[in-house]
Amino acid sequence: MVAEVPDREDYAFDLPVELLAQEPPEARGGKRSDARLAVLHRSGGRVEHRVFTDIVEYVGAGDVLVVNNARFVPSLLPGVDEGGKAVAVSIHSPQGEGTWHCLVAPQAACRPGARFVLGAGLQVTGQLLDETAAGRWRIALDPCDPATLYALAEPAYSPYLKQAPADPEYYQNTYASVPGAVGNPAAGRHFTPALLDLLRERGVSVAEVTHFLAARTRREVTRMLRNLIAQGGAGDLAAEDLVDGTRLSDEFDFPPAERYRISEHAADLINDRRASGGRILVVGTSALRALETVTGPDGRTQPGSGSTSLRIMPGHRFRACDAFLTNLHEPCSSELILVAALTGRDFLLDTYRNELIPRGYRFNYFGDSMLIA
- pLDDT, one tens digit per residue, over 115-171 is 999 999 999 999 999 999 888 999 999 999 999 999 999 999 988 898 999 999 999
What is the phi-psi region of residue 211: left when phi exceeds 0, alpha when psi lies from -120 to 50, beta otherwise? beta
Q: Taking the chain, what is the end-to-end CA distance rounded to the nearest angstrom? A: 26
Angle at 88 between CA 87 and CA 91, to 5 degrees: 135
> What pLDDT, on the 0 to 100 scale, is given for residue 331?
94
Confidence band of 328 (pLDDT split at 50, 70, 90): very high
Q: CA–CA separation, 299 vs 281, rounded Å? A: 14
Yes or no: say if 227 and 66 are a contact pair by the CB < 8 Å rule. Answer: no
Burial of 330 (0-12, 13-18, 19+ CB in 10 A): middle
> What pLDDT, on the 0 to 100 scale, is given for residue 3?
64
Confidence band of 302 (pLDDT split at 50, 70, 90): very high
DSSP state of 268: H
Amino acid (one-letter) located at 57: E
pLDDT over 70 percentage in the chain: 96
> What pLDDT, on the 0 to 100 scale, is given for residue 25?
94
Across 176-257, the runs of DSSP E, i.e. the strands, are: 178-181, 205-211
User: Looking at the whole model, is its pTM more than 0.75?
Assistant: yes
Q: CA–CA separation, 283 vs 288, rounded Å? A: 7
245-279 burial: b if 16+ Cβ within 10 Å, else e: beebeeebbbbbebbbbbeeebbebbbebbeeebb
Mean pLDDT computed over 69-74:
97
Q: At what angle do helices 285-294 and 334-343 cross, to 10 degrees?
A: 60
Yes or no: say if 214 and 137 are a contact pair by the CB < 8 Å rule. Answer: no
> What pLDDT, on the 0 to 100 scale, is given for residue 242?
65
